[in-house]
Copies of this chain bind each other. A is one copy, B any other.
Amino acid sequence: MMKILNLGLGLMMAASLFSCNNGSDKNKNSGNGALSSNAAEQVYVAPGEHDDYYAFISGGYSGNLLVYGLPSGRMFKEIPVFSQFPTSGYGYSEETKPMLNTSHGFIPWGDAHHPDISQTDGVIDGRWVFINENNTPRIARIDLETFETVEVIEVPNSAGNHSSSFVTENTEYVVAGTRFSVPIPQQDISIKEYKGKFKGTLSFIKVDEDSGNMEIKFQLMMPGFNYDLSHPGRGQSHGWFFFTTYNTEEANSLLEVNASQNDKDFIAAVNWKKIEEYVNNGGGEMMPAEYAHNLYDHNTHTATSTMKKEVLMVNPTEVPGAVYFMPTPKSPHGVDVSPDGQYIIGNGKLSANLTVHSFPKMLEAIKNEKFDGEAYGIPILDFEEILAGVVEQAGLGPLHSEFDDKGNAYTTFFISSEVVKWKLDTWEVVDRKPTYYSPGHLTIPGGNSRDPDGKYMFVMNKITKDRYLPVGPELEHSAQLYDISGDKMELISDFPTHGEPHYAAAIKADKVAPKSKKFYKLAENTHPYAAKNEGETKVVRDGNIVHVYMTTIRSHFSPDNIEGIKVGDKVYFHITNLEQDFDVPHGFAMIGQNNSELLIMPGQTKTSVWEPTKVGVWPFYCTDFCSALHQEMQGYIRVSPKDSDIELDWSLGDDAEE
């Protein structure tokens, strides 16, 4: 056990020393060293003014996607994606429950990691944001007209979907990759048989260019390594995709030691265009694989879930020239591709140096068969032959790199807790700034594209400690915003992030704001239980099932008095918000409602089920303060005993029957 303790304690001591230097209350101003002199003005967005950029920051274990403004660092919205969200009833309402369906059944939560914005010609276009779920492998698509999750696709033959959800330069594909290799197909074998028997898959998911709808085109059956992160080729390297691996040792236990043995692991270079051609010509084999595909429709305001049954599997050794391994020190985490597509940066998290691979040299090495052996039939390229350069002694624990518009790269170093700016081509470090504390990802708007911005960069720090007023043992994580327009990075603010931020995708506001939808048109509402005016409201019994067709408008429900409901009934409240104006939602809540409230946008219909268990008269009310008479927006439902013979009756107002 000595070895284990050594490594474990060593890392713990490093973290602990570090926190003593920078994390104590006595050094409250430790973040000010790099502070811009007019930082306050730089981040201030005056009332009535708007931010310049949207930042879409993942919520990690919240399962959601957060929308922030830059430079203010203000959070405008939490978009529920993979998790139930009591605020709007997402994942509780009948219409949205199917969004959380999987081959493992209904899963009420997810671990959201890496948002990526759709691209056209290698430039982010602001149509959709994709984001991956790490735990029960899935990818979601968020529509940037409505800022709602409109699609979730499960990824079969995968476990821990981490190297996702990055897109190719025309959004031809969004990728996924298994972080934890598993038996494929799943089977009852011992964990001790891991080496050789467990496999990883990399999935290429086709995105329809008009609708954005996803469909798994093929999966690649890969060796049983851990696949960590990925990025697409672009420009000269368009057509390729790069995935980091670790645990090439194929250990199945105590990976902090056993998967840290090899000096180099790999970046897998995948020529997806070649494989696409192969499968378009009938290559690959269909294999049984159960996975859910969930779609949300903005006219019916309803999600549907379909269970798929098979997937096309490709053995990479049967497609010559399709997959190569690039040796990369050491347990690389991020892999990042320069804006021109020439450089592939491997961020070896147990390394002090950054290894930069050359795409042209890689092509040359492939052509000349400069190989250094193979792994499970996949050629390993010779390290020296493909090396573009090394950023020497850049820091400890590099995780991720992004790029600006002036030929610079920016890399986060987790262990030495800093962000380092260095020059592409010369590999020279030109600036470094401490971060507070232990940065994970960093983001520059357009960072994963041909056309990165050069104004702001922010790092998402994993350890918060004393950055904000203390709030007990559990803290939010924290981001730091830098002005990168000058020679040196200037820290301008700290802002807390919600959930655990992994990657963020950011975009100029004018690419998204003009097409943001303000409300849903009632005329386009095709929900089967919509009541499009008060005349269509009604209550219908079918055995013990009762459907209430209800409307809301400032400031009443119709109907607002309902009698004849009985204990044991299952009551479906279908609420249509008749408002046709921006920012006039209504809510609906019933006492004892054991799913959730509903928040209904103008023109929308949403449904909540209530199964009354107690005789009495129970109120319902609007949960969103909608007008001066909001408090008056209420109604009552009379619940009679199961065997009562009271007939259904409903009304609005004293004179509703006139």
Contacts and interface: CB of A to CB of B under 8 A. Distances in A.
A182 B637 CA distance: 11
A473 interface: yes
Contacts of A509: 469
Interface size band for A: 35 or more
A583 B465 contact: yes
Contact of A462 (B16, B182, B257, B625): B625
A523 interface: no
A658 B62 CA distance: 39
B513 A469 contact: yes
A180 B614 CA distance: 17
Given A31-B47, A436-B47, A463-B583, A631 B226 contact: yes
A615 interface: yes
Contact of A516 (B75, B470, B498): B470
B28 A516 contact: no
Contact of A594 (B86, B108, B180): B108
A465 B582 contact: yes
A339 interface: no
A340 interface: no
Contacts of A556: 8, 254-256
A102 B613 CA distance: 13
Interface string A91-133: 0100000000010111111110000000000000000000000
A43 interface: yes
A74 interface: yes
Interface stretch (A232-240, A372-380, A401-409, A647-655): A647-655
A518 B25 CA distance: 12
B109 A86 contact: yes
A620 to B, nearest CB: 9
A614 B104 contact: yes
A159 B652 CA distance: 21
Given A44-B44, A191-B561, A592-B102, A258 B654 contact: yes
Nearest to A625: B462
A300 interface: no
A609 to B, nearest CB: 13
A187 to B, nearest CB: 6
A636 interface: yes
Contacts of A585: 474
Nearest to A602: B473
A74 B495 contact: yes
Interface stretch (A49-57, A212-220, A446-454): A49-57
A54 B469 contact: yes
Copies in the complex: 2
A472 interface: yes
B259 A475 contact: no
A583 B658 contact: no
A474 B77 contact: yes
Contacts of A189: 617, 638
Interface stretch (A245-253, A315-323, A383-391): A245-253
Interface string A510-545: 001100111110000000000000000000000000
A496 B48 contact: no
A491 interface: yes
A171 interface: no
A632 B599 contact: no
A471 B583 CA distance: 11
Contacts of A43: 44
A16 B512 CA distance: 26
B591 A146 contact: no
Contact of A28 (B50, B162, B512, B615): B50
Contacts of A483: none
Interface string A52-74: 00100001111100010100011
A109 B594 CA distance: 8
A333 interface: yes
Contacts of A475: 76-77, 583
Given A182-B619, A190-B563, A105 B597 contact: no
A550 interface: no
Contacts of A111: 589, 597, 623
A331 B15 CA distance: 59
B73 A259 contact: no
A287 B587 CA distance: 34
A397 B614 CA distance: 38
A51 B641 contact: no
Nearest to A4: B653
A35 interface: yes
Contacts of A627: 11-12, 15
24 contacts: A4-B655, A30-B48, A35-B47, A47-B494, A48-B436, A50-B469, A75-B75, A76-B468, A83-B86, A109-B596, A135-B597, A147-B474, A148-B474, A182-B618, A188-B640, A226-B631, A228-B631, A253-B652, A254-B652, A255-B556, A255-B633, A256-B554, A469-B509, A500-B625
Given A255-B632, A500-B623, 4 more contacts: A46-B493, A47-B467, A51-B468, A186-B616
Q: Which 6 pairs of residues, A with B, have the shortest CB-CB distance?
A: A186-B616, A104-B592, A31-B47, A31-B48, A147-B472, A254-B653
